[in-house]
Amino acid sequence: MLKGQKRWGLFFFLAPVVLWLFVMIVLPHIDLLIMSFRIENDEGQQIWSLKNYLNFFEEPIYWLTFARTAIYSILVTFLTFVIALPVAFYITKVVKPKYQGFLLVLLLLPFWVSELVRVYGWMILLRESGVINHFLLKAGLLKQPIEMLYRDSTMILGLVYTSMLFMVVPIISVLDSLDNSLIEAAYDLGANMWTILFKIIIPHATPGIVSGSIVVFMLTLGNYLTPNLMGGKNSLWFTEQIYNQFIASFNWNQGSAFGFLLLVLSSIVVWLGLKLTRQNLKKVVQ
């Protein structure tokens, strides 16, 4: 009797989640998966085919964009990590505890406005007639304004900026649990700053680093707004190819195929990352 009640209770509370997952995520994906294996023949009928996937491999622009997106996403993840680690270390270990909360709020503050507004903020700063150019000209460092937008470096800057918080927060939470005396003990035993970083801090922080990296990598890979606005037409981000197929070419079948390729890519990279760092998903998600 009690057991039955328990099961019913579990079902009751899980139902919304399961329903939501099924209706909003699983069903559309099944539909997309089916769509990606179908094309329209000359008579306008939908038939089964691998053509959509073949197109991807036959047309260099597609797979080059794909590879470029993957490599840049990994680069963005790495850069975000390189910037986030010292920030997190500073907040957890260097500043006085009473300022920690304040600094965290400072980190969070930019995320209270939407990504769109933040990206436009960067554009105001970086464009040819923008704030930075204006001051560089005034200071006499530049003879004529340069266009800082629509470059790969600018796009990466934007992506790193957008991802920062998602890396800093998990690293802060793991560094919080790092006993200061471990750092002092290593220092006392003759280690220098770099050894402490690589032998003590990073090994301890690995679960947080990996979980932050997964989030940042996935967000970056699937980002549409920032590459599009800050990288412009040159950005060649794979999400734009998907967008083009769905909206511009109205070729939903091709678009679904691209979407699934991106999903496979992110799954493989995350799996590789976990294998390389010898972490498992269960530990990282905790």
Partner 1 sequence: MQIDLAVKDISKTFDDFMAVDNVSFEVADGSFFSILGPSGCGKTTLLRMIAGLTEPTAGTIEIRGKSMLGIPPNKRPVNLIFQHLALFPMMNVGENIAFGLKRRGDSKAVINEKVATILERVDLIGFGDKKVDQLSGGQKQRVAIARCLVLEPAVLLLDEPLGALDLKLREQMKVELKKLQAKVGTTFVYITHDQSEALVMSDHVAVMNQGVFEQIDTPQNLYNSPDTPFVAQFVGDNNTWSGRIRQCDQKTAEIETTDGRVFRTQIRQQLQPGDEVDLFLRPEAMLIQPDAGLANLNRFEVIVKDLLFDGANSRLLAHPLDADTELLIALPQTHQYDYIQKNDKIEIGWDEQSGICFLRKENQD
Rounded to a whole number of angstroms, the minimum distance from the CB of residue 103 to partner 1 is 22
Task: Identify any residues that bridge with 269 across adjacent strands, giving them in sequence order.
Answer: none
Q: Is 179 in the site for partner 1 (CB under 8 A)?
A: yes
CB-CB neighbours of 216 under 10 Å: 27
CA-based diameter of the chain, in Å? 83
Q: What are phi and psi of 39, to 5 degrees?
A: -130, 170
**Which token pair is 173?**
């939470």
Strand ranges (E), 79-197: none
Task: Identify any residues that bridge with 38 across adjacent strands, giving them in sequence order.
Answer: 48
Binder to partner 1 among 60, 97, 140, 190 (CB under 8 A)? 190
Please list, in sequence order, all residues whose beta carbon lies within 8 angstroms of the beta carbon of residue 106, skipping any fewer than 6 positions away.
Answer: none
**Which token pair is 64?**
């080059």
| C-alpha–C-alpha distance, residues 221 and 241, integer Å | 13
Q: What are phi and psi of 139, to 5 degrees?
A: -80, -5
Rounded to a whole number of angstroms, the minimum distance from the CB of residue 272 to partner 1 is 22
Rounded to a whole number of angstroms, the minimum distance from the CB of residue 286 to partner 1 is 16
Residue with Cβ nearer partner 1 (144 or 192): 192
Residue with Cβ nearer partner 1 (14 or 182): 182
> What 3-state DSSP class applies to 150?
coil
**Which token pair is 172?**
């802060």
Q: Is 277 in the site for partner 1 (CB under 8 A)?
A: no
Stretch that binds partner 1, among 9-17, 61-69, 98-106, 181-189 (CB under 8 A): 181-189
Residue with Cβ nearer partner 1 (2 or 193): 193
Q: Is 199 in the site for partner 1 (CB under 8 A)?
A: yes
Q: Is 186 in the site for partner 1 (CB under 8 A)?
A: yes
Residue with Cβ nearer partner 1 (208 or 259): 208
Q: Is 246 in the site for partner 1 (CB under 8 A)?
A: no
Rounded to a whole number of angstroms, the minimum distance from the CB of residue 181 to partner 1 is 4
Binder to partner 1 among 90, 187, 243, 246 (CB under 8 A)? 187
Residues near partner 1 (CB under 8 A) are: 179, 181-182, 184-192, 195, 199-200, 203-204
